[in-house]
Structure formats: structure tokens, C-alpha cells
Amino acid sequence: MRVTFATEAAPGRPNEDFVAATPDAAVLLDGAGTPAGSDSGCSHGVTWYSHTLGSTLLATMAQSAGTLTELLAEGIKTVSSLHDGTCDLAHPGSPSATVIMLRRTDDALEWLVLADSVLILDVVDAPEPVIICDDREAQVGALHRAEMDALDSGSDEHVSAHRRYVETLRSYRNRDGGFWVAATDPLAADQALTGSMPVDRIRAAALLSDGASRLVDRYHLRTWRQVLDTLDESGPDGVIREVRVAEHSDPQGSRWPRGKTFDDATALYCCP
């Protein structure tokens, strides 16, 4: 595959997204779980979690022929074993991450999508791109975000409401009727969306963290097709630039209410 990617942290914060690729595989993770003032039971933190799980997954994808679901379950177990002696892995706020895995075999492109990062497939002869996203967290979140969305982003009240929102969502995490993410339970891998397609049917694929996909699914400034065009013409940097321009135009979140004024934004584009 020909692969390009870019990632940019929210200003002044460590980047909790992780992206990496080989010529035959790509991973994108978006870490989550611990707003300021919240406890997580883990001394390592969200950035450590997403970066360690992501690099573990990419390494096993290069070495093993197991299914992507099996490799994700193994990866979650491996990362748990790295800190179960020092951290409280039963804590409801332990670090977590969304996961996209993409692998090219001789004749197929395989994918796995867990939680709300977005996979876009540009399929030959299809008028619209195919979008693969697991939106269970957004469905649960919609029931609980009214208070936060009514407040100005960046205000102390908004910061507190965002923390309460994240803590409320923890009670829905990794259980039936809620939403599933990579954290400490390897069974979450069984909840991922998976699929494959003959490689000659796919013109291009794009992986976006929700900090980048918000250009389409929250701000409604672009279509998925336009994002593919930007990726093709300007590369992943071009998409992230468009996201930041939009966010700077609405610093208080009055046009687009959101948990974070800026989020880590990551885009990967590949032509198999």
C-alpha cells in the first residue's frame, strides 16, 4: 500500500491519538477516559495506553496471520499484563482507546473498527464512499450531553460538565446496551465491526480519529467525498488544517457545541 498520515495534538496537550503503518498494515487509535481532575486507577495515562496498544497491534499484524479480532483481543491482554501489577485495572476510568486496524493480504483488504473512529472506503464504481463507524458511544452520549452543550467551551462550568459527562459515560463502557472500546477486557474485540473486500475494488481508504472526522459528522462543512478529495490533493495535513480553521472560527462552541474546543486530530490515507 502507499500510505501517508498526519496527526496533531490539541494545543497544549499530549497527543492521545496514535497512528502507524507498514506497507501492508495500518492502525489508528484515539485514547480516551481521563479528563482533568478525574481519577483513572492507572499511573501511566491515556497517551501511554493508546501508543502502547497501537504499537503492539502493528507488530502482531506484521508477524501473525490471526484474524484482526484475535489480534486485538491478544493486544488488549498484552497491554493489561504490562501494568496489572502496578495499576487498578478494575477502575471504571482506566485508559481506553478506539481502534481501527487495516491489513492488506494478497488479494483482499481487511478491516476492524471499534468505537468512534471512522473508516472511509472509496470503492470502485460506487458513487458514494462506504463509511464504517461504530456509533454506539454517540448514541449513549446524546442522552447525557445537553447540560455540557449548553455551556460556553473553555468556561469553568463547561470543564466541570465535561468531566461529569465523561464520568457518566463510564457506567456504559464495555457492557451490553452501552458501548465498547479497547481497555482491559479482551472480549471488547468481539464487538468490533469487521469486514474485507477484494483489493482491486478499493481505490483508496482513509482512517480518521473523531477529532478529524468532525469536519463532516459534527461541523457538516464537508462531505466524506470531499474529505477523500482533500486527502488525495493535499494529503492528511490538508484535512487537519481545515479542522483547525473551523475550530478557530468557533472558539466557544456556540455554532458547534462540543466536549473539547480542539481535539487531537489524525488522518491516514492509503491506496492499496
Q: Which stretch, 39-47, 114-122, 187-195, 236-244, contacts Zn ion (CB under 5 A)?
A: 39-47
Please identify which residue in 9, 22, 38, 44 interacts with Zn ion, judged by CB under 5 A. Answer: 44
**Applying CB under 5 A, does 79 fall inside the site for Zn ion?**
no
**Applying CB under 5 A, does 260 fall inside the site for Zn ion?**
no
CB of 50 to Zn ion, least distance (A): 12
CB of 58 to Zn ion, least distance (A): 21
Q: Identify whether the C-beta of residue 99 lies closer than 8 Å to the C-beta of residue 111.
A: no
Q: Which stretch, 6-14, 34-42, 70-78, 230-238, contacts Zn ion (CB under 5 A)?
A: 34-42
Q: Identify whether the C-beta of residue 152 lies closer than 8 Å to the C-beta of residue 146.
A: no
Residue 222: CA count within 13 A, CB half-sphere: 20
Which residue, 186 or 259, is less far from Zn ion as judged by CB? Answer: 186
CB of 38 to Zn ion, least distance (A): 15
Largest interatomic CA distance in the chain: 53
CB of 56 to Zn ion, least distance (A): 14
Q: Identify whether the C-beta of residue 215 lies closer than 8 Å to the C-beta of residue 245.
A: no
Give the Cα separation of 220 and 113 in Å (integer). Answer: 22
* Dihedrals phi, psi of 120, to nearest 5 degrees: -110, 130
**Applying CB under 5 A, does 87 fall inside the site for Zn ion?**
yes
Give the Cα separation of 134 and 144 in Å (integer). Answer: 18
Binding footprint of Zn ion on the chain (CB under 5 A): 42, 44, 83, 87
